[in-house]
Amino acid sequence: MTALAARRRHPLAGVVLVIVGLVATGVLYAALAPGRAGAAEDPASDIEAGRALFLANCATCHGMDAAGRNNAPSLIGVGAASVDFQVGTGRMPLQATGPQAPQTQVRFSDDEIRQLAAYVASLGPGPGIPSAEEVDPATGDPSRGAAIFRTNCAMCHNFAGKGGALTRGKYAPNLDGTSPTHIFEAMLTGPQSMPVFDNGTMTPQDKRDIIAYLTTTSKQPSPGGFSLGFVGPVNEGLVAWIVALAALIGCAVWLGSKSS
Amino acid sequence: MSTTARVADDVGNFLDERVGASKGVKFLFRKIFPDHWSFMLGEVALYSFIILLLTGVFLTFFYVPSVGRTTYDGVYTPLAGQTVSEAYASTLRLSFDVRGGMLMRQIHHWSALIFVAAITVHMFRVFFTGAFRKPRELNWVIGTILALLAIVEGFAGYSLPDDLLSGTGLRIASSIILAVPVVGSYLSFFTFGGQFPGEAFIPRLYTVHVLVLPGIFLALITAHLILLVVQKHTQYPGPGRTNQNVVGYPLYPVYTAKAGGFFFIVFGVTALMGALFTINPVWMYGSYDPSPVTAGSQPDWYMGWLDGAVRLTPGLFEFTALGFTFSFNIIIPAMIVPGLITMAMLFYPWIEQWATGDRREHHLLDRPRNAPTRTGLGVMSITFYLLLLISGGNDIIASQLHLSINDITNTLRLLGLVLPPVAFVVTKRICLGLQRKDREKVLHGRETGTIYRTETGEFFEVHAPMDDVSRWKLVGYEPIRPLEPLPAYDEHGVRRHGSRLDGLRRRISRFYFEDRVEPVTPAELDAAHEEHEALPAHEEEERGAVTASTSTPVGGD
Amino acid sequence: MSGHTPAPQSAPGREVVPADADRLLPERFENPGLPVHHARMGDTDPKAAKRAERQVATLFGISALGTLITLVVYFAVKFDTPMSFAEYMTRLRISTEGLGMGLFLALFGIGAGAVHWAKTLMPDEERVEERHLLRGSDADRDAAVTILKEGAAESGLGRRPLIRNSLIGALVLVPLPAVVLLRDLGPLPGDDLSTTMWTAGTRILTDPQGRPIKPADMQIGSIVHIVPEGLDKVPDYLEQKAKAAAILLRLDPADLDPKSQPGAYEGIVAYSKICTHMGCPVALYEQQTHHLLCPCHQSTFDVTQDCKVIFGPAKRPLPQLAITVDADGYLVAKHGFTQAVGPSFWERG
């Protein structure tokens, strides 16, 4: 056991991993820099198709010019990442007004989402959709990610990413099953109540570390048995009463009853 | 003589000649204990305590009570290379690297939750059946102290792993200490050995958790059990059971097998909990750091009511005067409310005794319905407690049910004031209703399900009269009536000692016993029987039970 | 009056219980005594008794099997060969569940067997033991009082007030060392509760990465969790962090309260993260409503109103940390906190 730990935790292993990760990211970042100018690279046809989709599905609230109306925010300058997150997780188009837009069935195909994103990106410079390499959990350090996650994310999303309550019916959603791209985009764009975690203060590598941590723990078998949802001591207390104490009282009733 | 018998003989002789064991055997082994499932609740608590001792000793072999900084290099890779405390690292080591360590830690923690839960339901049983009455007031006090210490002990254990949840809990504890008027900051610095979190507190807490409190527990539990043996167990009313006897089975062999076996059952169920359900996944929380926090930062369930009280109290109670801060937003929910509840619990036996004026020994338990006011008060307290407990989980309720946390909090603030009195009135009414039903049953017999049709086309059901044994359960209680104090002045015009409180005492006594349903008397039953012979069946339903209404004339005054 | 049974109105209009001379009824029912004992199947049928005996033995056998399972799992689940993290966690789960369920069978088998044995085969006829008043007999009590009086007289406490009073004095004084000896439990608070590491020019670093921040790194709606530079060098790291932890937020400058403007830099504001209620980190920031929520007791602070409390048990607003930029363009503290951060305490004023 200790031998295993030693091998996996060889001092050089971490260094090598970090170097590989850094080099890979550097190269990729330089090559693919998700661009504030990225919109220009999209074919004009995508933008045109996206505009048609926008007018049919989004303009009612966000306005024909996407400049926002009433409660719907302006989409100029929100970037392709925002669209990919909001539409790609089924939060937009909004189904019904409420404290916040819930995650629902995705109503567009991947192509349509790309077209919508291209159109919105063409309206003004904003964060682009990160590439697959940019969000690859394999290039992140889960341990470092855990530390960053606990300070920056756990207060809303809970220590295991299971979500939590905000004020007046709003909530931080459960992160289970959210794709690395969407996690990255959420941090980059700050959807709804969530604040923005800029690339300047939380670098793409920091974000990848967080993604690596979440991927590790979501795949990790719970070593202590059923997890009870990982929402803290409330569930544990409920189970202690409803399962354990109830079982013991059942045994006591059997013990106190007369045998036939 | 067989070998076994000879050995037993020798051992017995050895012990008797040195410690007089034969007298102990004679005194103890054939002692009678009454049989009822609710009498096992205290045993669940006792056995949980033994399980806690056993598993706790195992944990101490591996746990390091120190917050010295160290770099984690164990098998749990999502923490690899992080700076953690020795306490946290050793908790992980005993969970991940010690075979069976995870199981032991989980059994220990589940057992702690079950321990306090069992104490709670045991107290409910003792309260609702009136088992705290004379001569058992002292055991009620000991039990109350044990219940409170169990909460403290549990919180200490929760704090020892030094994970994020532990530290957040301790920070709240330190803030409560800071809120103590005048000496708060000094108390906090003495407790934590300086600023929070400090390096002194975890080792100190460890001593309290594994030595001081378990020692006090052992002493108090021993006293609790000795009193139980000396006073003999209470029993439920029933045929053959009187205030002067105890009916049941002997300690040896029946209760040795039953109670001894029950220890293994409790341990087995707790082991199953530890095997199947993760509790306190410390590896996910990370070592304590004052900057991070997790959504759903909660204490274990038994502290939930205090946390809930703190959540409900609005900030407006804090104010500054004469250059000092009065944090009543903390003092009220964290000191005054728990203090008052503790006092009410400790003194309850004497409060009720004062209202009844009854100084006799009571060994027969009350059926809860036959003490409507007490039962109402109990349910009222439990309602209040439950609302506080629910408040302690308001954020989890909000996020799981997608409700507004503000609405939940405001609703609970309102319910906390309104619902307990409602619960009192409703419970008391239900008890009185059940008593009336008992009377009906005694007076008119049990429904047989046989329906007759008269020649005029009317239907009636045949009621079978109750036999003596089953009737006794419904009539075998004493009606308690409001006290009427003697005149305050005797014929010489001298004021009677204690008469100044007569008014209060009369009010309390009336509050308890004004509304009551008295048991059927033989005369009433006799009258009802005559009536049965004389009257057609359908007229009987008009008859209600006797309820001594508030208009019952009370003499004197 | 209250000593009498109220007249039962069991049948309106009817005379209640005519006192029948030849049928005097007691005021209360009488205890009918123990009901007849019913024999169990095992008491009358030797076959049933034999069956119960076998059941008990089976339960004890299950216990032995459980012990065996526990031992097998302990040695069979190996952790000493190289394996992936996920594999290790899987084996740990198998080990925990296997050991626990084995233990369950081992313990529950004994318990259930013993209880079944007691219920089916040991005598189940209830026995009666008499109770006696706990109070001693009058003779005992008189004897006890005599002993106590004699002892008191023999000790002479009543006759020799000097001994009594000096003993009381000594007993009152003797706990003092116990109190005094506790003095070194901790230092006096001094101004520790009112000061933090932040001073004029302290550079702001991200928590936990430890990077300095330029205003341009932050866009509107963003949050950064921050600590003062040099925190990782101090010996009392956690104690300092427990006071100094803060958050940096960027808002539209127009949204900020005029009170917070002097300490802001281009819409960037810093506030203490330590709740003024009970010291939890107030870090749940809703960028659209600008509310900060504490996860412990739900105190809610409004950043656009200088972090005033708008809900929950906290009273005071979160203290603001005035910020500016240094020569290199990095964000720094303009000066330290102007008031104590964190929960209230008596001398805070």
With an 8 Å Cβ cutoff, is B483 touching chain C?
yes
For residue B398, pLDDT over 50 is answered with: yes
With an 8 Å Cβ cutoff, is A219 touching chain C?
yes
- Of the pLDDT bands very low, low, confident and very high (cuts 50, 70, 90), residue C94 is very high
Q: Which residue in chain A is spatially nearest to B104 when comparing CA positions?
A: A224
- Of the pLDDT bands very low, low, confident and very high (cuts 50, 70, 90), residue B555 is very low
For residue C52, pLDDT over 80 is answered with: yes
CB contact under 8 A, B262 and C103: no
Mutation for A interface: B278, B390, B406, B407, most A CBs within 10 A:
B278
Identify all chain C residues contacting B246, using CB atoms and an 8 Å cutoff: 128-129, 131
Q: In 3D, which of B444, B446, B434 has the Cα closest to residue B470?
A: B446
- Of the pLDDT bands very low, low, confident and very high (cuts 50, 70, 90), residue B264 is very high
Of A165, A228, A234, the CB nearest to B298: A234
With an 8 Å Cβ cutoff, is A258 touching chain C?
yes
With an 8 Å Cβ cutoff, is C124 touching chain A?
yes
The count of CB pairs under 8 A between chains A and C is 123
With an 8 Å Cβ cutoff, is C115 touching chain A?
yes
Mean pLDDT of all residues in B216-238: 95
Instruction: Please report the pLDDT score of residue A26 as a whole number.
Output: 56
Q: A35 Cβ partners below 8 Å, 6+ apart? A: A41, A128
Mean pLDDT of all residues in C110-121: 95
Identify all chain A residues contacting B392, using CB atoms and an 8 Å cutoff: 234
Between vectors from CA B194 to CA C316 and to CA B158, what angle results, nearest 5°? 80
- Of the pLDDT bands very low, low, confident and very high (cuts 50, 70, 90), residue C12 is very low
- How far is the C-alpha of B30 from the C-alpha of A120, rounded, in Å? 87
- Among the residue ranges B107-121, B392-406, B473-487, the one predicted with the least confidence is B473-487
CB contact under 8 A, C96 and A223: yes
Mean pLDDT of all residues in C113-124: 94
Tokens of B437: 């039903």
- Residues B502, B488: contact at Cβ < 8 Å? yes
Identify all chain A residues contacting B301, using CB atoms and an 8 Å cutoff: 233-234, 236-238, 240-241
For residue B262, pLDDT over 90 is answered with: yes
Of C86, C90, C287, the CB nearest to A194: C287
- How far is the C-alpha of C290 from the C-alpha of A114, rounded, in Å? 31
Tokens 């300095």 label which residue? C212
CB contact under 8 A, B484 and C6: no
Tokens of A205: 């590598």
- How far is the C-alpha of C23 from the C-alpha of B529, rounded, in Å? 14
- How far is the C-alpha of C60 from the C-alpha of B324, rounded, in Å? 67
Instruction: Please report the pLDDT score of residue A1 as a whole number.
Output: 43
Q: In 3D, which of A241, A246, C49, C107 has the Cα closest to residue B37?
A: A246
CB contact under 8 A, A1 and C208: no
CA distances, B520 to each of B255, B430, B524, C13, C118 (Å): 36, 19, 6, 19, 38
Asked if C343 and C200 sit in the same domain, the reply is yes
A129 phi and psi angles, rounded to 5 deg: -75, 130
Q: What percent of chain A has pLDDT over 70?
A: 83
Identify all chain A residues contacting C124, using CB atoms and an 8 Å cutoff: 258-259
Question: What is the pLDDT of chain B when averaged over all its residues?
Answer: 90
For residue C199, the SS3 value is: coil
Identify all chain B residues contacting C101, using CB atoms and an 8 Å cutoff: 272, 275-276
For residue C274, the SS3 value is: strand
For residue B426, pLDDT over 80 is answered with: yes
- How far is the C-alpha of C90 from the C-alpha of A223, rounded, in Å? 6
- Of the pLDDT bands very low, low, confident and very high (cuts 50, 70, 90), residue A7 is low
Asked if C213 and C309 sit in the same domain, the reply is yes
Nearest Cα of chain B lies from the Cα of C140 at a distance, in angstroms, of: 18
CB contact under 8 A, A221 and C288: no
Tokens of B451: 């329906």
- How far is the C-alpha of C75 from the C-alpha of A112, rounded, in Å? 57
Asked if C334 and C203 sit in the same domain, the reply is yes
C2 within domain boundaries: no
C82 within domain boundaries: yes
Instruction: Please report the pLDDT score of residue B455 as a whole number.
Output: 81
Instruction: Please report the pLDDT score of residue B485 as a whole number.
Output: 74
Asked if C214 and C336 sit in the same domain, the reply is yes
For chain C, the domain total comes to 3
Instruction: Please report the pLDDT score of residue B357 as a whole number.
Output: 86
Of A99, A151, A156, the CB nearest to B295: A156
With an 8 Å Cβ cutoff, is A71 touching chain C?
no
Identify all chain A residues contacting C90, using CB atoms and an 8 Å cutoff: 221
- How far is the C-alpha of A191 from the C-alpha of A173, rounded, in Å? 12
Nearest Cα of chain B lies from the Cα of C58 at a distance, in angstroms, of: 15
- Of the pLDDT bands very low, low, confident and very high (cuts 50, 70, 90), residue C16 is very low
C17 within domain boundaries: no
- What does B434-477 look like in DSSP terms, one character per residue? HHHHHHHHHHH-EEEEEEEE-TTS-EEEEEEPPPHHHHHHHH-S
Asked if C212 and C334 sit in the same domain, the reply is yes
Asked if C116 and C144 sit in the same domain, the reply is no
CB contact under 8 A, C288 and A192: yes
CB contact under 8 A, B32 and C348: no
Asked if C224 and C303 sit in the same domain, the reply is yes
Q: In 3D, which of B461, B460, B437 has the Cα closest to residue B447?
A: B461
- How far is the C-alpha of B356 from the C-alpha of B343, rounded, in Å? 20
CB contact under 8 A, A9 and B80: yes
Tokens of B25: 């055997």
Q: Which residue in chain A is spatially nearest to B163 when comparing CA positions?
A: A159
B519 preceded by a cis bond (ω within 30 of 0): no
Instruction: Please report the pLDDT score of residue B407 as a whole number.
Output: 94
C128 within domain boundaries: no
CB contact under 8 A, C313 and B313: yes
With an 8 Å Cβ cutoff, is B249 touching chain C?
yes
CB contact under 8 A, A150 and B292: yes
Nearest Cα of chain B lies from the Cα of A70 at a distance, in angstroms, of: 23
C208 preceded by a cis bond (ω within 30 of 0): yes
Q: What percent of chain A has pLDDT over 90?
A: 47
Residues B286-302 have pLDDT tens digits of: 999 999 999 989 999 99
Nearest Cα of chain A lies from the Cα of C316 at a distance, in angstroms, of: 19
Q: Which amino acid is at C57?
A: A
- How far is the C-alpha of B339 from the C-alpha of C132, rounded, in Å? 37
- What does A32-55 look like in DSSP terms, one character per residue? H---SSGGGGS-HHHHHHHHHHHH
Domain boundary among C171, C187, C212: C171
Instruction: Please report the pLDDT score of residue A34 as a whole number.
Output: 46
Q: In 3D, which of B548, B532, B543, B368 has the Cα closest to residue B440?
A: B543
Residues A180-210 have pLDDT tens digits of: 999 999 999 999 899 999 999 999 999 999 9
For residue B1, pLDDT over 70 is answered with: no
Q: What is the domain-level CATH number for residue C266?
A: 2.102.10.10
- Of the pLDDT bands very low, low, confident and very high (cuts 50, 70, 90), residue A13 is low
Of A223, A225, A259, the CB nearest to C119: A259
For residue B236, pLDDT over 80 is answered with: yes
Q: Which residue in chain A is spatially nearest to B158 when comparing CA positions?
A: A233
Question: What is the pLDDT of chain A when averaged over all its residues?
Answer: 84
Considering only residues 29 to 58 of chain B, which have any Cβ-Cβ distance to chain C shorter than 8 Å? 31-32, 35
Asked if C210 and C76 sit in the same domain, the reply is no
Mutation for A interface: B405, B406, B409, B410, most A CBs within 10 A:
B405
For B8-77, give the secondary structure using H, E and C.
HHHHHHHHHHHHCHHHHHHHHCCCEECCCHHHHHHHHHHHHHHHHHHHHHHHHCCCCCCCCEEECCCCCH
Asked if C275 and C143 sit in the same domain, the reply is no
CB contact under 8 A, C40 and A259: yes
- What does B212-233 look like in DSSP terms, one character per residue? IHHHHHHHHHHHHHHHHHHH--
CB contact under 8 A, A253 and B405: no
Considering only residues 20 to 49 of chain B, which have any Cβ-Cβ distance to chain A shorter than 8 Å? 35-41, 44
Q: Tabulate helix, strand, coil % of chain C (nearest 5).
A: 40, 15, 45
CA distances, C148 to each of A217, B154, C280 (Å): 72, 43, 58
Identify all chain A residues contacting C242, using CB atoms and an 8 Å cutoff: none
For residue B43, pLDDT over 60 is answered with: yes
CB contact under 8 A, C287 and A258: no
Tokens of B303: 């502290």
C275 within domain boundaries: yes
C66 within domain boundaries: yes
Considering only residues 161 to 200 of chain B, which have any Cβ-Cβ distance to chain A shorter than 8 Å? 164-165
Q: B195 Cβ partners below 8 Å, 6+ apart? A: B189, C192, C193, C236, C239, C242, C243
Asked if C207 and C339 sit in the same domain, the reply is yes
| Contacting partners of chain B (3+ CB pairs under 8 A) | A, C
Of C41, C209, C217, the CB nearest to A206: C209
Q: Which carries the bigger pLDDT value, residue A90 or residue B412? A: B412
Instruction: Please report the pLDDT score of residue C20 as a whole number.
Output: 47
With an 8 Å Cβ cutoff, is A54 touching chain C?
no
Q: A71 Cβ partners below 8 Å, 6+ apart? A: A61, A97
Cβ neighbours around A162 below 10 Å, total: 22
- Residues A75, A134: contact at Cβ < 8 Å? no
Domain boundary among C171, C186, C211: C171
C301 within domain boundaries: yes
- Residues A244, B269: contact at Cβ < 8 Å? yes
ipTM (interface predicted TM): 0.90
Nearest Cα of chain C lies from the Cα of B391 at a distance, in angstroms, of: 10
**Beta bridge partner(s), residue A165:** A171
Q: Which residue in chain A is spatially nearest to C282 when comparing CA positions?
A: A155
CB contact under 8 A, A196 and C82: no
Q: Which residue in chain B is spatially nearest to A252 when comparing CA positions?
A: B37
Strands B324-327 and C223-228: unpaired
Q: In 3D, which of C313, C256, C259 has the Cα closest to residue C282?
A: C313
Residue C276's domain spans which residues? 195-348
C236 within domain boundaries: yes
Asked if C288 and C200 sit in the same domain, the reply is yes
- Among the residue ranges B19-28, B61-70, B163-172, B383-392, the one predicted with the least confidence is B19-28
Q: Which residue in chain A is spatially nearest to C220 when comparing CA positions?
A: A196
Asked if C113 and C146 sit in the same domain, the reply is no
For residue A78, pLDDT over 60 is answered with: yes
For residue B84, pLDDT over 80 is answered with: yes
Residues C179-223 have pLDDT tens digits of: 899 999 999 999 999 999 999 999 999 999 999 999 999 999 999
